[in-house]
Structure 1
Amino acid sequence: MQVEFVEQMPSTQEFLVDAVREGRITPPFAIAANRQSAGIGSRGNDWEGVSGNLAFSFCVAQSDLPADVPPQSASIYFAMIMQELLASLGSQLWLKWPNDFYVDERKIGGTMTNKIKNTLVCGIGMNLLGAPEYAGILDIKISAKDAIEGFFALYENKISWKQIFRNFSLQFQKSQKFSVHLGGEKISLAQAKLCEDGSIIINEERVYALR
C-alpha cells in the first residue's frame, strides 16, 4: 500500500473521496496527515485534530477484501483490524457498534467508509496524544506512522469476516451499555441483537452500519 504522509490538511477522508470520485487517484492508495483542521466525526460532526494524532484514509477495490466480508459492514471490518493490532500491543481499546473506538467508557476515535462504485474509501482517526475534554486518549504509546504501518501489515493477512466477527461479537455487550443515533433519534442498544453480517436488530428493525 502506497502511503503519502502530509503535515496538515482539512480532512484526509474528504480529500480521498473527492480524488477517487474524480479519477485522480485509483486504489490502492493511502494518505495520512499529522494534523487535520476539519476532520469528520460521527454523523458528519467535526472531529478536533491534534498534531500527532492518528488521521489517515485509504482506498481499496471492494474485490480486494475477503469474499465473506459483508459490504455494508466494511467499517466494522477495517475498524476491527485496527482494534486487533492495538490490542496485541496491550491496549484495552474496543469497538462500539458500529464504528467508534473506545477505551473504557470514553470515545477516542472512529472509522467511516464511503463506497464509490467498486472502490471503498475508509478513514480512521484516533486520539494518540491529545483530545478535547469530552473524549479520551489511547491507553498505550504508539506513533501514528507505526499504527498505520501495523494496520496495513495486518490488513494484508486478509483476515476472514468470520474471524473478525467472532472477536467483534465478544465486545458487543459493551456496546449495549450505550446508545446510537438512528434517524435523528438517540436509541439505547441495551436490547439490540447483533447479526452475523454486522447489522443489529433493534425494536424489530434491522439496522446496518452505513457509515
Structure 2
Amino acid sequence: MKITYLDSVDSTQTYLKNLIKNSSIELPHAVSADLQTDGLGSRNNSWIGYKGNLFLSFAIKLKDLPKDLKLESASIYFAYILKETLEKEKSNVWLKWPNDFYVGDEKIGGMITNIVSDILICGVGINLVKSPTNFNTLDIDISKSTLLNKYFKNIENFSSWKQIFRKYKLEFYRNQNFFTHNENDKISLSKAELLDDGSIEIDGERIYSLR
C-alpha cells in the first residue's frame, strides 16, 4: 500500500477522499499526517489532535476485502489487525467493542469506517505522544513509519474474517466493565453476547457497530 505523508492537514479522510475523487491515485492508498486539525471521531465527535500522534486514513476497494467480511464489522476487522501489530511490539493495547483502542481502562485511540461508492475508507487516530484529559497514550515507543509499514504488511495478508473473529472473541470478556453507545443511548456491555458477524446482542436487541 502506498502511503502519502503530510506535515499537517485538516482531515486525512477528507484529503484522501479528494485524491480518490480526482482520480489521482491507485488503490489501496493511505494518508498519514503529523498533525490533524479537524479530525472526526466516533458519533461525529471531533478527535483532538496533538502533533506527533497517529492520524491515518486508508482506502481499499470493496472487491479486495475478505469475502466473508460483513461490512458492518469492517472496523473490528481492521482495528484488530492494528491491535495485533502493536501487541507484537510489546504493547498491552486491547480492543473495546467495536473499535476503540485501550490500554488498561483508558482510551488511546479509535477507528471509524465508511463506504464511498465501491471503496471502504478507514480512519484511525492513536495517541502516540500526547493525549487529552481523560485519555491516555500508547504504552510503547514506535515510529509512525515503522508502525504503518508493519500494519499494512499484516493487512495485505488479508486474513479471513473467521480467522480474526476467532481471536477477537477470546478477548471479548474484557468489555464487561465498559459501555457502548447505540444511537444516543449509553449501554452497558456487562451482559453483551458477541455474535459471529461481529454484532452484539443485549437483552434480545442486536446492535451493529455501524462505524
* TM-score with structure 2 setting the length: 0.95
Q: What residue in structure 1 maps to residue 14 of structure 2? A: 14
Deviations 1:56-98 (A, max 9, x none): 1010011111211111111111101100001111111001001
Cα distance in structure 2, aligned partners of 1:49 and 1:122: 17
Distance 1:17 1:52 in 2: 23
Deviation at 1:206, TM superposition (A): 1.1
What's the counterpart of residue 56 of structure 2? 56
Report the residue type matching 1:101 in the other structure: F
Residue equivalent to 2:4 = 4
What is the number of residues matched between the two proteins?
211
* Superposed CA offset, 1:26-80 (max 9, x none): 5211110001111111211111111111111010011111211111111111101
| Identity across matched positions, percent | 45
Q: CA deviation at 1:14?
A: 2.6
Deviations, residues 133-170 of structure 1 (Å, cap 9, x unaligned): 21011111111111111110101111121121112112
Alpha-carbon distance in structure 1 between the residues aligned to 2:172 and 2:19: 35
Q: What's the offset of the Cα at 1:15?
A: 2.5
Q: Which residue matches 2:195? A: 195
Q: The residue matched to 1:136 in structure 2 has which SS?
A: coil
CA positional deviation for 1:20:
3.4
Q: Which residue of 1 aligns with 2:44?
A: 44
The correspondence of residues 23-172 of structure 1 with structure 2, limited to 5 A, is 23=23, 25-172=25-172
Opposite residue 104 of structure 1, the aligned amino acid is: G
Residues in 1 aligned to 2:157 and 2:177: alpha-carbon distance in whole angstroms: 32
Per the TM alignment, residue 25 of structure 1 is displaced from its structure 2 partner at its CA by 4.7
Counterpart of 1:124, as a letter, is V
Instruction: Provide the C-alpha distance between the structure 1 equivalents of 2:41 and 2:119, rounded to a whole number of angstroms.
Output: 21
- Runs (4+) of structure 1 exceeding 3 A deviation are 17-26
Structure 2: state its 5+ residue gaps.
none
Q: Aligned AA for 2:205?
A: E
Q: Secondary structure at the match of 1:153?
A: helix
TM-score (norm 1): 0.95
Structure 1: how far apart are the matches of 2:99 and 2:46? 16
Matches of 1:153 and 1:3, distance apart in 2 = 12
Unaligned runs of 5+ in 1: none
